[in-house]
Amino acid sequence: MERFLAKASICFMLYLTIMKNLRSAYFAVLFCLLTANPLFAQTTLVHAGTVLAVPGEKPLTNQTIVIEKGKISEIRSGFVSAAQLNLASDQVTVIDLKEQFVMPGFIDMHTHITSERDPNANPHEWTTLFDEDAAFRAIPYAEATLNAGFTTVRNVGGNYKLMLALKRAIAAGYVEGPRIITATGAVSATGGHGDDHGYRPEIMNAFETNVAICDGSDDCRRAVRALVKQGAEVIKITATGGVLSNTAAGVGQQLTDDELKAIVETAHSLGRKVAAHAHEADGINAALRAGVNSIEHGSYLNDESVRLFKETGAYLVPTLLAGVSVTEELETNDNIPPAIAGKIRQVGPVVEASFKRALKGGVNIAFGTDSGVSKHGTNAREFELMVNYGMDENEAIRSATLHAAELLGMKDSLGSLEKGKWADLVAVDGNPLQDISELRNIQFVMKEGTIYKQRDTN
Ligand SMILES: [Zn+2]
């Protein structure tokens, strides 16, 4: 408080000396308000009982994470006080996580955060809703995702204006949610997984032209450029058919080898990575040969796929939760169209074997759930599926932190708790390296130094 008063009086004198010049006085007052405000120079000290600062390394006990302006400035051994950092107590906020296990915030590389499948919804509801209805519904999805410990998501499909608006609203603080890195549309062949299906032509003709639908390599170059123009930060493509599009066209290769090459070349030349939705091996392998950065789902990957993953360094984003949740839904929901039900029966049972093949082959794996297919906020169930299918707990956590940050191209700011990175922290009561299901019970969430969830544990 003394520092605050000292600064305030210096500022007042400064104001008096230059008050003849109104404009300078205005700036002087502004300067004083900013610098004299004790909140401005606030430092946060997180006293953490156990910290997995760099997933894969040994957790450390009794540490202090020092946070300034949303970033980690250092991690010190022991529970350090304000005085030990030569700071006045009113300049410091201390957060007590002495009983908790603290980790970097998680990253989900495959979400559809603006929508959620609802088996009980009226299938014709979309004909009556406004885009604004969808926008309001997206708010609790974003909140649920952040509360589940996911401080960053890569969003790979949905209403692109809504996605971009939600990203901006979260970044500006209007809505609580994860940091979003987003694709806009998904590059798809005419009639492919990313196209519209299942309505009479007059209705489909009324939809806004989808710039991402393309045929032939030149047209697919145009599609990538159009998506970048829309604001895509990553290029999502549908290399093969998909389960939830209402067309009985299978889940094999849909974009040709030439189209895939043109897409990847154009995206990379514009500084965008390519995330390829792919189920059957022909499409997975063609996409890998074309140089995509990740394969999403990868349901039928074979030995050649494993070889290509290793050769190119591409990541697999397995989305096991999507396979499990649509298979569960099929048992209770009689309204699933036959074309979709057939593909669920085909793909659902094979994802486990494919994941195990990738794991055994040493493929790079980044965490992704396909949330929106499953309920937002249940993202951590993916960790349990990965571990049940043979992945080590440490590796599962690495997939959602360091590996995901690497695939995003953001490892300088995300993925571990180290000096200079964003203060994105989550905490649980137990030890997730011993019981991965602990990650379903997130007790504490901080994003860029701001607390969004804090359970009273006393
Ligand atoms: Zn998806």
Low-confidence stretches of the chain (pLDDT < 70) are 1-41, 244-249, 342-343, 347-348, 456-458
Secondary structure class of 97 (helix, strand, coil): strand
Neighbours of 200 (CB within 10 A): 7
Same domain, 91 and 147: no
Asked, for residue 361, whether it belongs to a domain, the answer is yes
Q: How far apart are CA 54 and CA 423, in angstroms?
A: 13
**Would you give the end-to-end CA distance of the chain in angstroms?**
29
| CA 238 / ligand 1 centre spacing (Å) | 10
Same domain, 344 and 245: yes
What is the per-residue pLDDT for 327?
A: 79
| CA 153 / ligand 1 centre spacing (Å) | 13
Asked, for residue 292, whether it belongs to a domain, the answer is yes
| CA 201 / ligand 1 centre spacing (Å) | 25
| CA 319 / ligand 1 centre spacing (Å) | 8
What is the per-residue pLDDT for 96?
A: 97
Neighbours of 349 (CB within 10 A): 12
**Alpha-carbon distance values, 418 to 73, 242, 396 (Å):** 8, 39, 20
| CA 372 / ligand 1 centre spacing (Å) | 8
| CA 258 / ligand 1 centre spacing (Å) | 24
| CA 305 / ligand 1 centre spacing (Å) | 20
CATH number at residue 428: 2.30.40.10
Q: How far apart are CA 26 and CA 215, in angstroms?
A: 59
Asked, for residue 413, whether it belongs to a domain, the answer is no
| CA 20 / ligand 1 centre spacing (Å) | 62
Same domain, 263 and 378: yes
Show the domain range for 14.
2-36
Contacts 24+ apart (CB under 8 A), 61-67: 62/98, 65/102, 65/417, 65/423, 65/425, 67/43, 67/423, 67/449
Asked, for residue 415, whether it belongs to a domain, the answer is no
What is the per-residue pLDDT for 245?
A: 64
294: which strand partners? 275, 315
Question: Count of domains in the chain?
Answer: 3
What is the per-residue pLDDT for 249?
A: 64
Same domain, 23 and 123: no
| CA 117 / ligand 1 centre spacing (Å) | 12
Same domain, 128 and 157: yes
Secondary structure class of 439 (helix, strand, coil): helix
Same domain, 216 and 327: yes
CATH number at residue 404: 3.20.20.140
Model confidence, pTM:
0.89
| CA 337 / ligand 1 centre spacing (Å) | 18
Same domain, 379 and 241: yes
Same domain, 254 and 268: yes
Q: Which two tokens stand for residue 332?
A: 């209770």
| CA 146 / ligand 1 centre spacing (Å) | 19
Asked, for residue 320, whether it belongs to a domain, the answer is yes
Contact between 383 and 125 (Cβ < 8 Å):
no
| CA 219 / ligand 1 centre spacing (Å) | 23
Strands 106-111 and 150-155: parallel
Same domain, 365 and 429: no
Contact between 214 and 187 (Cβ < 8 Å):
yes
| CA 57 / ligand 1 centre spacing (Å) | 31
| CA 368 / ligand 1 centre spacing (Å) | 9
What's the pLDDT tens digit per position in 4-19?
444 555 555 555 555 5
| CA 369 / ligand 1 centre spacing (Å) | 8
| CA 5 / ligand 1 centre spacing (Å) | 55
| CA 243 / ligand 1 centre spacing (Å) | 10
| CA 345 / ligand 1 centre spacing (Å) | 18
| CA 154 / ligand 1 centre spacing (Å) | 11
| CA 210 / ligand 1 centre spacing (Å) | 18
| CA 241 / ligand 1 centre spacing (Å) | 12
| CA 53 / ligand 1 centre spacing (Å) | 30
Same domain, 267 and 401: yes
What is the per-residue pLDDT for 14?
A: 53
Asked, for residue 441, whether it belongs to a domain, the answer is yes
Same domain, 204 and 292: yes
Asked, for residue 414, whether it belongs to a domain, the answer is no
Same domain, 227 and 260: yes
Residue indicated by tokens 């493509």? 237
Asked, for residue 288, whether it belongs to a domain, the answer is yes
**Alpha-carbon distance values, 51 to 45, 73, 84, 117, 192 (Å):** 14, 16, 21, 36, 46
| CA 77 / ligand 1 centre spacing (Å) | 42
What is the per-residue pLDDT for 201?
A: 81
| CA 112 / ligand 1 centre spacing (Å) | 7
Q: How far apart are CA 324 and CA 343, in angstroms?
A: 13
| CA 240 / ligand 1 centre spacing (Å) | 12
Q: Exposed (0-12), middle (13-18) or buried (19+): which is 77, by Cβ within 10 Å? A: exposed
